[in-house]
Amino acid sequence: MSATQKDAQRQIERITAGLSPDEIERRLAPKSGTPPRRVPGATRTDPQTVAKRWAAIPHSIPGMAQVADSASLAEHAGYARNIENFVGTVKVPVGLVGPLRVNGLSAQGDYYLPLATTEAALVASYHRGASVITESGGCSVLTMNEGVSRAPAFAFRSLLEAGRFVQWCIEHDAELRSAAEATTHHGRLENLRFNLEGNHVYLLCEFTTGDASGQNMVTIAAQAICTVLETRCPVKPAYGFVECNFSGDKKSSAQSFQGVRGRKVSAEVRIPRDVVRRFLHTTPEKMLEYWRISAMGGILSGTIGIQGHYANGLAALFIACGQDAACVSEAAVGVTRLEVEPEGDGFLYACVTLPNLIVGTVGGGTGLPSQKACLDIVGLAGPGKARAFAEVCAALVLAGEISITAALSANQFTKAHSRLARGRPAAGA
């Protein structure tokens, strides 16, 4: 980001905080000397090894027993495949939202959802939105597409070589598919897409991953494809890598709406005017006015998608239910739309579409003790439940969008946060 001369000067003064040039240079310079002892590594989780890791910290930790508590240490073996350098667990408060009525192709019923968060007012907001949806007969939800991609890339001496490489890949599609699918019982290579940039070739490998979120699954499968290309293809790249930042992994990107990562899900609900008035203390027209001006704000600020706060609900549900929390960076891309239907009493129509829901009900952190218990609350732990879980995620996001839009349109947003987060009414509210 560029800065004017005056802004740059103010920033320099703020950053240096009165330090002399010599002191600044000393602080920023590399430091010699023997570092403290290294944390004992690897995947061992037994209490003796945990104690050695805590002992490596050069200062006392008064709250050590809150992390290395007896329950965590007793269950230490269950964490071995999910963490390295294990020292304990962190407790995040979990609140319950529901019932949330979901009328999906895969998710059917009234769901109670655990949200793990330290942000006051979040659970209350989603709980209110869930009540509105349920009071309105539930939301309709549809999983429209699914797949997870990995994007190896290769560099060649010329554009001609890159083209010949692509041609070989097309002709040997069955061989590449066989190599990839030999690495997994559940993954399937659905498509190979090619993107040439000069003498570089990006190979977008698109997989379905069953009931797992599938990030590790597709990495291993893509590596098998790379091995075939390196050993069998007569056109040898100068170099290549298993992932070259083209898949959209764990980041929002311009291609979010051009395909799918995880599951693409859309949810909608028609809310009667009386429900809007009684539960949300506003009107459909006021909510539409807010959505319209906030959508333009999103466009002007350059956001990818148009939505209020998908990340809030998704992060809380992901943490509670053992999902990869970093995937919120892409899962929280999406579009919210509101309309006031002219027929009848003027129903509020609300819908959300999320093209990048990276979720699973097996593998990863879904089998850890607390996370498994939270998935059991939802009733969607284990095989055959991932598509339903994705639909529940979309329904939760819809609940959150309805509630926050209502709060802002009714001028209750600040008041709610002040009351729930600080325990006192906001000044002037």
Cβ(284)–Cβ(270) below 8 Å: no
Confidence of residue 285 (pLDDT cuts 50, 70, 90): very high
Name residue 193's beta-bridge partners: 204
For the residues 26-51, what does the mean pLDDT come to? 88
Distance from C-alpha of 291 to C-alpha of 63, rounded to nearest angstrom: 45
Q: 166-190, pLDDT tens digit by residue?
A: 999 999 999 999 999 999 888 899 8
Q: 262-278, pLDDT tens digit by residue?
A: 899 999 999 999 999 99
Q: 194-244, pLDDT tens digit by residue?
A: 999 999 999 999 998 888 888 889 999 999 999 999 999 999 999 999 999
Confidence of residue 255 (pLDDT cuts 50, 70, 90): confident
**SS3 (DSSP) at 162:** helix
φ/ψ of 119, rounded to 5, equals: -95, 110
CA dist 395 → 141, 251, 309 (Å): 7, 22, 14
What pLDDT is attached to residue 421?
60
Share of the chain above pLDDT 90, in %: 71
- Judge whether residue 427 has pLDDT over 60: no
Confidence of residue 428 (pLDDT cuts 50, 70, 90): very low
- Catalytic entry in 75, 119, 135, 285: 119
Q: Please state, rounded to an integer, the average pLDDT across all residues of the chain.
A: 91
What pLDDT is attached to residue 38?
86
Q: 117-158, pLDDT tens digit by residue?
A: 999 899 999 999 999 999 999 999 999 999 888 999 999 999
The residue count of the chain comes to 429
- Judge whether residue 360 has pLDDT over 70: yes
What pLDDT is attached to residue 33?
86
Distance from C-alpha of 403 to C-alpha of 97, rounded to nearest angstrom: 13
For the residues 296-325, what does the mean pLDDT come to? 94
Share of the chain above pLDDT 70, in %: 95
What pLDDT is attached to residue 424?
54
Region of poorest pLDDT, from 115-124, 240-249, 327-336? 240-249
46 is known as an active-site residue: no
What sign does the CA torsion over 31, 37, 43, 45 have? negative
For the residues 301-322, what does the mean pLDDT come to? 95
Region of poorest pLDDT, from 1-15, 169-183, 203-217, 399-413? 1-15
What pLDDT is attached to residue 429?
44
Residue 282 in tokens: 């506003």
pLDDT: is 423 or 5 the higher one?
A: 5
- Judge whether residue 58 has pLDDT over 90: no
Q: Is the bond leading into 342 cis (omega within 30 degrees of zero)?
A: no
Domains of the chain are 95-146+264-422 (3.90.770.10), 152-241 (3.30.70.420)
119 is known as an active-site residue: yes
Indicate the pTM of the whole model.
0.89
- Catalytic entry in 76, 127, 309, 417: 417
- Catalytic entry in 75, 135, 324, 339: 324
**Nearest 5°: CA angle at 306, between 390 and 218?**
40
110 is known as an active-site residue: no
Closest CA to 69 of 317, 381, 370: 370
Q: 70-81, pLDDT tens digit by residue?
A: 999 999 999 998
Which uninterrupted H or E stretch holds 98?
Answer: strand 94-104
Q: Give the distance between the most distant pair of CA atoms in the chain.
A: 77
Cβ(122)–Cβ(312) below 8 Å: yes
